[in-house]
Amino acid sequence: EGEIHIPDTKYSFDGPFGTYDRGELQRGFQIYKDVCAACHSMNLLSYRNLRDIGLSADEVTAVAAGVQIQDGPNDNGEMFERPGRASDRFRHPFANTAAARAANNGALPPDLSVITKARVGGADYIHALLVGYEEPPEGVTVMEGMHYNKYFPGHQIAMAPPLSQEGQVTYADGTKATVDQMARDVAAFLTWAAEPELETRRAMGVRVLIFLAILGGLAYAVKRKTWADVH
């Protein structure tokens, strides 16, 4: 039993100049919405943020309208539910922490807004975790209500395998929904959620380098001219 080795998943956003693949992010959102959202909140995201991954205003409105959001109190002091709006934060699957634990055998599904930042390995880890369920090795007893996962620290996780069969979702773009594909896509989506500014940040970095190269060249030329007569 050595260190856990997390396999390296190749992504378009890897490396210093990588960018997101909009199709992949949209598929990933579909997985979050159809599977993960039953248990995991994403408090830092609003439906309107989905414009950033290529959904049209109408699509965003439709996604938001598809969930019921707790609102209130109204004039009578009552809480009520209403269809979501583009400006709403992603819907909370549970009323509170106690309800979330009660529905999950005592364990708390963490908020996924910045999970790729909160776990070593980022997207690679999320992908690995989702495909890492297997039978426990000889001699290992899995506790009641827990599941063996080769990539989860400690190997016993309260989350049942959320992506367990091919074709569990039907992708809008026709991509074949293998478990590996679904895991990849949702890990990419969660990376974007945690780091929506990644592309702008990198583009700025490139401009800064170009600027510095030109400025450096100029400074050198000026230096040569200024000191040309000093021997």
Binding site for ligand HEM (CB under 6 A): 31, 35-36, 38-40, 104, 107, 109-110, 115, 119, 126, 129-130, 157-159, 162-163, 186
Q: Which is nearer to ligand HEM, 118 or 213 (CB)?
A: 118
Establish whether the linkage from the previous residue to 73 is cis, with ω within 30° of 0: yes
Task: Name the maximum alpha-carbon separation found in the chain.
Answer: 89
Least separation in angstroms between residue 129's CB and ligand HEM is 6
- Which CB sits closer to ligand HEM, 85 or 101? 101
- In sequence order, the 6+-apart residues with CB closer than 8 A to the CB of 136 are 142, 148, 155
CB of 66: closest distance to ligand HEM in angstroms?
17
Q: Is 55 helix (H, G, I), strand (E, B) or coil?
A: coil
Q: Counting Cβ atoms within 10 Å, is residue 223 exposed (0-12), middle (13-18) or buried (19+)?
A: exposed
Looking at the Cβ atoms of 46 and 148, the one nearer to ligand HEM is: 148
Q: Shortest distance, CB of residue 128 to ligand HEM, whole angstroms?
A: 10
* Least spacing, CB of residue 198 vs ligand HEM, in Å: 19
What distance, in Å, lies between the first and last C-alpha atoms of the chain?
Answer: 69
Nearest residue (CB) to ligand HEM, 38 versus 206: 38
